[in-house]
Amino acid sequence: EDQVTQSPEALRLQEGESSSLNCSYTVSGLRGLFWYRQDPGKGPEFLFTLYSAGEEKEKERLKATLTKKESFLHITAPKPEDSATYLCAVNKGSTLGRLYFGRGTQLTVWP
């Protein structure tokens, strides 16, 4: 069965303390891996798409990487405004655009 697993479920960091979030997947025929940020009571906001192993993308304090089995979202020197739930999703390509989501990592950054 295809699966997307995110870890940890929750992460508390002090401001400036860098860390990584993990997304492991077992889907076949990966067509893309997506990272989203979700604030409480809001819809997910797109961050990155990764298509092939070895690919990396960066945006401000965030950097996403992809291997054949997992993706990491690295957060460098986080700030309190980075606090949110980070969602990982994959597209298998059997139905273009249809996403399979992990349960998310709830990140809290305290001053």
Partner 1 sequence: DGGITQSPKYLFRKEGQNVTLSCEQNLNHDAMYWYRQDPGQGLRLIYYSQIVNDFQKGDIAEGYSVSREKKESFPLTVTSAQKNPTAFYLCASTDGGGTEAFFGQGTRLTVV
Considering the complex, state which of residue 78 and residue 104 has its C-beta at the smaller distance from partner 1. Answer: 104
Structure tokens at 36: 């989203």
Contacts with 86 (C-beta within 8 Å, 6 or more apart), sequence order: 6, 21, 35, 36, 37, 38, 47, 73, 104, 105, 107
Residues 16-75 that bind partner 1 (CB under 8 A): 31-32, 34, 36, 41-46, 49
Q: Which of 50, 64, 104, 105 binds partner 1 (CB under 8 A)?
A: 104
Positions touching partner 1 (CB under 8 A) are 4, 31-32, 34, 36, 41-46, 49, 87, 89, 91, 93, 95-104
